[in-house]
Amino acid sequence: MGRHTISGYHDNGSLIWTWRLTLTVGGAGLLLEGITAALWAVGVRVGATGFPAVLGIFALFLAVQGRIYSAIRLRYERQRLPAVPAFVPSPSGLRPRRRVVRRWSGFAWLMMGLIACVPVVYVANWNAYPKGAQIGAVTGSVLAIATCWLLGPAARFVITREHLHIDTGFRRTSLPRKLLAGFLPDGLNVRAELTDGGHQDFRVDSPLLEAGSSLHRSNVRCRFRTIQAIVRVLGEVPPLDTDYPVVVTRARWGPISLATGAVVATAVVTTLLA
């Protein structure tokens, strides 16, 4: 980036919001808001001043949001992910034996909260809607909330003395701790490198965020802090050697049963209301 360049581009092609660019765009937004206020003060109709006001607010929002995005990327994108502690087997019987690190699921929780408002509205106005519509809305909302839970908070990282368990909505992949060599960024995901030459990719945030375009989406802070938390817990839980250090993937029958029950209940209610 040249000395007099107002901005540049991140590795993913998104614009770098330098302080100079942020102040330029933000200043333009403030100028438009000032013009709007002046026109309003001299009695110009509100309808005639609406466009510069909206444009000014958009410029201010863009400048602030862009600067926050760039500041986070510039801080984290070139940092190496924390290193895995050396595997030093400890005697059996030591504690703690199990710790959990949750996957970042803020967007999933937000969606669950918004969806939960639907049955609340119907229940609060129970006599204002047909009973079929009420029951259908409540059942559909429960199914949608269960889906968001499976795509968000259901995922986690469980650290035991023998394994790092990577739990998604329906699967558990168990990585023996003695095989963990380190963590590397892999796009929006993280790759766990193994000492036997293998690897395992996993998400650090909810797949609900993939619903839109992911071209310029960044989760470098989430990625770094998730691995930082996992590495910290790996240091807190004393490792225990395993006789058969192999990677195992199996189903998580609890979440699968929940999903099946939600789908069956929705299908039954829909059939009865048809």
In a domain, 11, yes or no: no
Which tokens belong to 177? Answer: 């701790």
Q: What pLDDT digit, counting tens, does each position of 5-48 carry?
A: 566 777 777 788 888 999 999 999 999 888 888 878 877 765 65
In a domain, 255, yes or no: yes
What is the tens place of the pLDDT at every residue in 250-266?
999 999 998 888 888 87
Residues 102 and 72 in one domain: no
Name the one residue in this structure whose structure tokens are 């709007």: 36
Evaluate whether residue 85 is within a structural domain. Answer: no
The domain total for the chain is: 2
Q: How far apart are CA 24 and CA 15, in angstroms?
A: 14
The amino acid at 202:
F
Same domain for 165 and 60: no
pLDDT reported for residue 48: 57
Q: How far apart are CA 6 and CA 178, in angstroms?
A: 49
List pLDDT tens digits, range 111-166: 999 998 887 877 777 676 677 777 777 788 888 999 999 999 999 999 999 999 99
Instruction: Tell whether 39 is covered by a domain.
Output: yes
- Give the domain extent around 157: 98-273
- Are 58 and 126 part of one and the same domain? no
Is 14 among the domain residues?
no
DSSP one-letter string for 63-75: HHHHHHHHHHHHH
- Nearest CA to 124 among 134, 132, 133? 134
Domain identity same for 268 and 199: yes
Q: Say what the pTM is.
A: 0.81
Torsion of CA 12, 18, 21, 27, to 10 degrees: 130
Q: Does 1 fall in a domain? A: no
In a domain, 82, yes or no: no
Assigned domain for 172 exists: yes
Q: What is residue 226's three-state secondary structure?
A: helix
